[in-house]
């Protein structure tokens, strides 16, 4: 039953192929943006720890 639910999310019978493509493209872009934002957050956290936890790392440079 779960596979049917997953399939319904991908293929919606009432959607035209163009609308389906646009919807899937938007979902992929959103997931990619969320992943990239998480990576940036992790890099900023690591940089903050490397600098010593100061609020503005430009003061150290």
- pLDDT (0 to 100) of residue 32: 93
Residue ranges of the chain with per-residue pLDDT less than 50:
1, 57
CB 40 within 8 A of CB 48: no
Number of structural domains in the chain = 1
- pLDDT (0 to 100) of residue 1: 44
- pLDDT (0 to 100) of residue 36: 92
On whether the pTM is more than 0.85, the answer is no
Full residue range of the structural domain in which residue 35 is found: 2-59
Torsion angle (degrees, nearest 10) of CA 20, 22, 24, 26? -150
In whole angstroms, give the CA distance from residue 21 to residue 17: 6
């Amino acid at each position: 039953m779960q596979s049917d639910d997953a399939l319904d999310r991908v293929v919606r019978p009432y959607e035209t192929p163009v609308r389906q493509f646009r919807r899937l493209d938007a979902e992929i872009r959103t997931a990619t943006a969320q992943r990239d934002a998480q990576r940036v957050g992790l890099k900023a956290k690591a940089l903050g720890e490397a600098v010593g936890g100061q609020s503005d790392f430009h003061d150290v440079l």
